[in-house]
Amino acid sequence: MPIHNSDIADIFNRVADFLDIQDKNQFRIRAYRNAARTVTSLSKNVAGLVEKDEDLTRLSGIGKDLAGKIKEIVETGTLKQLEELEKEMPPGLLQMMKMSTIGPKRVKALYENLGVRNIKELEEMAKGGKISDLEGFGQKTQQKILEEAQRIRKRGKAHRTRLVKAERVIQPLLDYLQETKGLKKLQVAGSFRRCKETVGDIDVLATCKRGSNIMDRFVTYEDVKEIIAKGKTKSSVILRTGLQVDLRVVQQVSYGAALVYFTGSKAHNIAIRKRGQKDDLKINEYGVFKNDERVAGKTEEEVYHSVNLTYIEPELRENNGEIEAAVQNNLPDLIELSDLNGDLQSHTKESDGKFSMEEMAEAAKDLGYEYLAVTDHSKRVAMAGGLDEKRVEKQIEKVEKVNKNYKNFRIIKSMEVDILEDGSLDLPNSILSELEVVVCAVHYHRDMSRKKQTKRVLKAMENPFFHILAHPTGRIIGEREPYEIDLEEIMKEMVNNGCFIELNAQPDRLDISDTYCRMAREIGVKVAISTDAHSISDLNFMRFGIYQGRRGWLEPDDVLNTRPYKSLLKLVQRN
């Protein structure tokens, strides 16, 4: 079976988690996590590099040992080291590791003292009140563990795949199907096309010439694990990743109607059909009909025009005001990738990035950007090699020196500065005043109450050198719940203080959500769409931020980094 980059990354992350629980060397653990991140962010398939016998040690963070392990995974589909670790400890411990209330030390304590092996047993122990008796836990922690365990169990019943993972699995399938003889059009629909942060089953629509063998090609794709059904117009398969893909062949005359129908959302489609009913129109996946006569359906535009609406972009189709906006000809002019002038969060080797400042700058310049903010961590994030005052001073000097090599590009003097527990910032104002853009973030004490966490961030925003609040809820999609915080109150205060909020484009984060993007737009807070890039390839994650921003109705003017460099600095500087 083919090995995807995500398969290799998953194995390395599992190894790292097991080693973390065993309290092994942190640098070794970080090496596995960095390797997983490198592999994940590559546009090329690592298995292909192995087949060509290319030198994997040229990849960032991949030494001889890890290169050998990658080769083993590609050739055998597994890693002996992981199998041995799974014999030592139950795999269910890894799911516990993803909980925000439990770190590796607590997982180890629960396993060794109570024999807890998975989320289900953890929930049972919490219900029975047995966790609070353990040293370092207590009643409050036990209650939080119980609540999070229940959320995870409920979420597991409706399994969904992150958009980035679905994209990595689906794109090779689409490339494969594009080679089909007689294929005319091919389009993914559903929540994938609406760019939701997680997707369920994948719907693919195609139009073909008569006699096309697309269904035969589809069900014999190398990544197909199970064929659920095969027919002339619809086939369904389960891929090895567990993702279900349905392929439908539709007539050209119905293609637009089918695309509207299968793109959804269900609520949006119902609203469209209700509008049609007022004019005695019947709208379904086959077209728009009046008295059994087809009057539209070849294109999506035809379908919308038939009910007196302008075309509605897929990302907006949630029945959340888009139809009313279309009626008033007031749909947003959505942000596009080409509107951006730069990236306002990135990391280098100075902290936990993989490339030098110069290498990151060249990559950003190649993307057509006018600027890149290098935001290495401040000293509080010691595990990421956070910079103290002296190192920040040296970095500022280096930025000024490197910038002399550029004519139409700037590295922005910046840092990702920790918001400490009391709301103060991790670096003194004497240093912050030398920076052009200060990106502030919560990394520790995530378990504070909603009131205290909100007060903490509001206090930090009083500092005149606070500019952008990074990854504002701290979530990891499907793994780590957002911490408690009142972002509406914070955004209202941002307007008064001249601060900004980040949409972190890392596809595992996409923090803030589309709902908060729209709230920011309505309140009047500019959003910085940033990649939080830790490698050159991570800079390409910007598209996921754009997807999320579009779902949140963001226009170019709503986004901070659509501004040219000088305009950006004018807007950001508060003092």
pLDDT: which is higher, 304 or 93: 304
Please report, rounded to a whole number, the percentage of residues in the chain having pLDDT higher than 90.
Answer: 70
- Under a CB-based contact definition with an 8 Å cutoff, are residues 519 and 554 in contact? no
* Locus of tokens 């807007």: 571
For residue 129, report the phi and psi dihedrals to the nearest 5 degrees: 70, 20
Q: What angle do CA 362, 466, 469 make, to 5 degrees?
A: 70
How much is the average pLDDT of 493-499?
Answer: 95
In this structure, which amino acid lies at residue 205? Answer: L
Section 53-70 average pLDDT: 89
pLDDT band at 545 (very low <50, low <70, confident <90, very high): very high
**Does the pLDDT value for residue 234 go beyond 80?**
yes
202-208/282-284 β-pairing? unpaired
Give the model's pLDDT for residue 156. 59
User: Which DSSP helix (H) or strand (E) runs through 244?
Assistant: strand 244-249
pLDDT at 575 over 60: no
What value does the mean pLDDT take over residues 334-354?
95
Quick one: which of 389, 380, 464 has its CA closest to 428? 389
Q: Please give the Cα distance from 384 to 273 (Å, whole number).
A: 53
Q: Which domains does the chain have, with CATH numbers?
A: 5-157 (1.10.150.110), 161-249 (3.30.460.10), 254-327 (3.30.210.10), 337-572 (3.20.20.140)
- What pLDDT sits at residue 23? 87
Distance CA 481, CA 98 (A): 9
User: Residues 431-441: what's their mean pLDDT?
Assistant: 96
Amino acid at position 109, single letter: A
Hey, what are 465's tokens?
A: 């050198």
| Mean predicted confidence (pLDDT) in 67-87 | 91
Name the pairing type of β-strands 202-208 and 287-290: unpaired
pLDDT in tens, 170-179: 999 999 999 9
Q: What is the pTM of this model?
A: 0.84
Residues 6+ apart with CB under 8 A from 218: 177, 235, 237, 247
CA atoms within 13 A on the CB side of 273: 15
Q: What is the pLDDT of residue 155?
A: 62
pLDDT at 25: 86
Q: How far apart are CA 81 and CA 11, in angstroms?
A: 10
Is 90 exceeded by the pLDDT of residue 337? yes
Contact residues for 502 (Cβ-Cβ < 8 A; gap 6+): 344, 345, 439, 468, 469, 470, 471, 472, 511, 512, 527, 528, 529, 530
Per-residue pLDDT, 173: 95
Q: Residue 96's pLDDT is what?
A: 84
**Is residue 332's pLDDT more than 80?**
yes
pLDDT in tens, 465-487: 999 999 999 999 987 889 999 99
Closest CA to 319 of 282, 257, 254, 273: 273
At 158, is the pLDDT very low, low, confident or very high (cuts 50, 70, 90)?
low
What's the confidence (pLDDT) of residue 38? 85
Lowest mean pLDDT among 116-125, 397-406, 429-438: 116-125
353-402 pLDDT per residue, tens? 889 999 999 999 999 999 999 999 999 987 778 899 999 999 999 999 99
Is the model's pLDDT at 459 over the cut of 80?
yes
